[in-house]
Structure 1
Amino acid sequence: MLLTPLPPLASDQLVTAAIPVDLRSDTYKLLYRVVTGPLSPGDRLDISADARVTNDVGVPGGTRYTIGVGSHLWAYSYTDPARSSGPWWRISHLMGDNVDPTRHHMPLHISCVYTVPDDWPPGHRMVICLRADAHSTAWAKNGGDDTLTVDTGYGQLVVRPWVNTPAPVEPTPCEPAA
């Protein structure tokens, strides 16, 4: 089998514009999502995502503090009605950094190449998502309702599918007649 590239799929439609800040580091919010075409086991997805967040907590008149931000790429099955909203599984490593009040803006970038697993139902579509979390030990200083802003117009999720195609068959030379 050969892997053949298909046209890239992309979305710059931001799903969540504010991530609640809490103490836990596993309360992810969906930022961007892309629905693929039909996939089969062994297909590969070359994925990259960007976003930008702004730390405006405590403005005006509250306490300013540093916020940890973690982001991952996730997936779930789109074509199986029983699983259309999950379960989710993480397909990338964790990317994380801290955005303090002085830094104010922080870009997020993550990428990976994901191989469609062997147990994937052939022809099913997959949803690829960028999710992020905001957390801090100071999360309750302003009453516990602070949010980290996800900036509109500064992000995009791109999925470049590479699908399995049969290898070309070389013609067999004809035997000369005896």
Structure 2
Amino acid sequence: MDQHPIVVARRQKDKTLRLVCPHCGWHHSHGSGGEERIHTHRIAHCADTDLPQHKRGKSLGYHIVVLDEVDMNETELRGLFAEMDEIAAAARADPLHVPEDNQIKFRALQKRRHPELDKQQWLDLFAVWRVHDAAKLAAARDAIVQRAHAIARANPGSPFVCVCGEEIDPSDPAMEALHRPHVFVAGLDRVKRISWRVDR
């Protein structure tokens, strides 16, 4: 998501989108495509010489949020997303939670904080929040993987072992997805064992 972050733009002359590029720091202008939507995506116009070394030669862009059509400023947008982050984090603690539930929760939050938004506007904002949320989850997962590798380097004779008994590479997304249900089932078994002890 570092290559396609979220940036707030202003609409000029009812169509041109003006923003400060999060990649190079220069002002960029983009056409609106004839739409007055809150959310759109564009490819950045940066020259390589204006970019940090680690971003040169890459396909860069950004998710643009245009708040001119709604009664909301950037601070309020960040506040809305921060509260939704807390709601989503609490929801994910429920084993029965599915990602589709987030839209229902976002809609309830939006109606409470910004009831004036029409259907397309709140759906656009939810799409932006999903981008924001995916970036946060990816960053958290990367941090976990880095810690796992640090532990592995410090303990070269101790491989990572799933509760099923198989040695796994925690940096492999396919391997992590395959063994995630094992950890979940092990957690349920632990809850059942605790409940059995309490009942007795």
TM-score (norm 1): 0.24
Higher RCO, 1 vs 2 (CA within 8 Å, ≥6 residues apart): 1
Q: Which has the higher strand share?
A: 1
TM-score (norm 2): 0.22
Q: Which has the higher helix share?
A: 2
